[in-house]
Structure 1
């Protein structure tokens, strides 16, 4: 069990909403289990931002299983555009710049996951009259230097709303918004052990050798993850490879094409 910040414990005691972002992956499962250990299930909401065909089959169902295991309600959200539509729009409007997202400019995460999730959480919090929200994410220090530098718990000034008292006497309650990383210091081995100890099974893509599970093909994914995604999701892979070929921009920040990285040729459209 990792150290729980006093600010988070107070939020739990005072009835805050704990919104667990669940991609269907191992870190999401471990995060939900960590929250369950000290928060009443009635204060937990598990959300999954579905990516349609771009996410691994079974990811949504896996996230639902995580929610059921901890006894929390489950919500599915979806952006108004798909990943491929986002890339296509970028190419049509600004063909001179890279069409695909990159590790430095992760519009796929912001537009397809973070923004739809936050919007849904804010609506839910307002409808259920929560004045404190704890946004839970399964980011871990072991994954990258950038994630290692993140604080475990921070107040989001952008999402926090101060209370207002109007001249007519009307009082509008504010909203405190905390960002919390409950498994930030856990290793991959401990994460898998936590899941097993809870009697849960991780998504099947891990048994294929994947390091990451969410998108079938991820810009952050290693070569073996891309190869697995291509082999086991052929139709999706072909759509990506064909769009890569048509735009002239590579999906991977390595500047190698998907066929070069996976060894699987692109079919003619």
Structure 2
């Protein structure tokens, strides 16, 4: 009897390998192609040369002190060059998210400074607070979908914060930058007969003293994202190196009206409740606009996250209520209160005289 060898044993076929289900490929982000005509760097950084070389000087105005000081500074230079007709002031209307009367204030600042063209742009669809809810719904749907793909319980997912933050300033792109770009499109179309890309000088009131990130910004640079074959946009930050005192001195010199929120004690003005605002500004907003504060608190419940990391709107409202209970409703301070802290009471009195004269002259002329 012969002993079977290894080579005499029957061959056993291994079952075919079944590849594991591959995770769905993430859609590739479309690469933005910048038109070949768009320069990579500005040909000059000299302010007067920038104004002479451009077709439009577009001043973005929030109605706040920085954009106001920038406006009067830019207008003075443009007027001296005989090019005031190029200046357009644009206000991105934030609806209920901004202090009441802000759009009207921005327009008055433009008119009294001598600018005849004032434009208002606004994002289509939902307002800023409603966009928080829409963003939350998208983030939750994405988190649940990814949980299912991993074989996990979608009901137990943790949804990323939907609120704006210093790291996620989607509010700026949605409510300001995008709508302002639509104005650039219209301005370029008005000068299409030039047969070349229209040159737009976009003036922004960002200052290095505001934050470390803004300190890194260049005073002049090409905005390649906003540029295309029909328009070339150069960003100019005219007051980038200015201090708070410089800003208030320019306001005093110009005589243009400034937002009453500063006299109430606010350090900055944009949205009533800005995630970048200091606590005192937020509490001040809750005292002046309690209905809006309540709407933000309700949205915190909807999206399951505090308005600001480490500081909920509920806490802001509580602090505001404490101040109301202790001091009663605050009386509006005299106009010029904030200004006098930087230029003195006598100069603030002169400023109020300049403002009254500007308003009278404008009324008589129009």
TM-score by length of 2: 0.65
> 2:123 maps to which residue?
79
Large movers: runs of 4+ above 6 Å: none
Greater relative CO (CA pairs within 8 A, separation 6+)? 1
Using the size of structure 1 for normalisation, the TM-score is 0.87
CA deviations over 1:223-249 (Å, ceiling 9, x no partner): 000001111011111000111123211
Note the alpha carbon deviations across 1:120-157, whole angstroms, 9 max, x for none.
12212322447210111000011000001110000122
Structure 2 partner of 1:45: 88
1:240 to 296, 319, 335: 296
- For 2:237 and 2:70, the matched residues in 1 are separated by 8
Whether 1:26 and 2:65 are equivalent positions in the alignment is: yes
Of 8-17 and 113-122, more deviation after overlay is shown by 8-17
The equivalent of 2:175 in structure 1 is: 112
Query: C-alpha distance in 1, partners of 2:284/2:300?
Result: 18
Work out whether 1:215 is the aligned partner of 2:271.
Answer: yes
Q: Distance between the aligned counterparts of 1:102 and 1:232, measured in 2?
A: 23
C-alpha RMSD of the superposition? 1.8
Which residue in the other structure is 2:213 paired with? 146
Q: CA separation in 2, counterparts of 1:155 and 1:240?
A: 37
Find 1:88's aligned residue among 133, 144, 147.
133
Change (3 A) 1:175 1:124: closer
Give the unaligned 5+ runs of structure 1.
163-173
Post-superposition Cα deviations, 1:55-110, rounded to whole Å, max 9, x if no partner, equal 00121111101210222210111101211111010122223121111111101111
Pairing partner for 2:99 from 50, 53, 56:
56
Instruction: Give 3-state SS (helix, strand or coil) of 2:77's partner.
Output: coil
User: Structure 2 CA distance, aligned partners of 1:265 and 1:67?
Assistant: 34
Q: Which shows bigger deviation, 114-123 or 206-215? A: 114-123
CA distance in 2, matches of 1:64, 1:125: 22
Give unpaired runs (5+ residues) of structure 2.
Answer: 1-43, 141-158, 322-366
1:206 counterpart = 2:262: yes
CA distance in 2, matches of 1:137, 1:88: 29
Distance (Å, rounded) in 1 between the aligned partners of 2:60 and 2:130:
23
Which residue in the other structure is 1:167 paired with? none
Seen in structure 2, the aligned counterparts of structure 1 residues 158 and 99 have a Cα distance that, compared at 3 Å, is closer
C-alpha displacement of 1:160? 2.8
Q: Distance in 2 between matches of 1:87 and 1:159?
A: 25
Contact kept? 1:41, 1:70, Cα under 8 Å: no
Asked if 1:258 is matched to 2:297, the reply is no
| Partner Cα separation in structure 2 for residue 122 and residue 34 of structure 1 | 26
Asked which structure has the greater CA Rg, the reply is 2
Structure number with the higher helix fraction is: 2
Cα distance in structure 1, aligned partners of 2:59 and 2:105 = 14
Contact (CA 8 Å) 2:286, 2:320: kept in 1 or not?
no
For the 8 Å contact 1:31–1:183, the answer to whether it is kept is yes
